[in-house]
């Protein structure tokens, strides 16, 4: 909740912020990992 002198960060805001960057990054890492597995084939 934000007031003139206060700006509480909620758990939902934290989850949204981390999900916003974490989900694309996790997708990219998985794609790279799938590609990297070719080394062991």
Partner 1 sequence: MLSFLDRSHTIAKPGFSRWMVPPAALCVHLCIGQAYAFSVFNLPMTKLLGITKSTPADWKLTELGWIFSIAIFFLGVSSAVFGRWVEEGGPRRAMFTAALCWAGGFFVSAIGVYAHNLWLIYLGYGVLGGIALGIGYISPVSTLIKWFPDRPGMATGMAIMGFGGGAFIASPLSVWLMSKFSTATHIGVAETFIVLGIVYFFFMIVGSVIVRVPAPGWRPAGYTPPVAARGLITNNDVFVYDALKTPQFWLIWWILCLNVTAGIGVLGQASAMSQEMFPGHITPVAAAGFVGLMSLFNMGGRFFWASTSDYIGRRNTYFVFMVLGFLLYCTVPYTGAVGSVVGFVCCFLVIISMYGGGFATVPAYLRDMFGTRYVGAIHGLLLTAWSMAGIFGPALVNYIREYNVTHGVPKAQAYNTTMYIMAGLLVIGFICNFFVKAVDARHHMAADDTRGKEPVGAEA
Nearest approach in angstroms of CB 23 to partner 1 is 10
Distance CA 25, CA 32 (A): 11
Nearest approach in angstroms of CB 11 to partner 1 is 9
Nearest approach in angstroms of CB 29 to partner 1 is 6
Q: Which residues pair with 7 in a beta bridge?
A: 2
Six-digit token string for 37: 């597995």
Residues that bind partner 1 (CB under 8 A): 2, 5-9, 13-14, 17-18, 20-22, 24-25, 27-29, 31-33, 35-41
- Find where tokens 């758990």 sit: 11
């Amino acid at each position: 909740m934000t007031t003139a002198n206060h700006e509480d960060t909620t758990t939902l805001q934290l989850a949204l912020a981390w999900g916003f960057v974490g989900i694309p990054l996790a997708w990219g890492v998985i794609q790279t990992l799938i590609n990297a597995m070719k080394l062991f084939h």
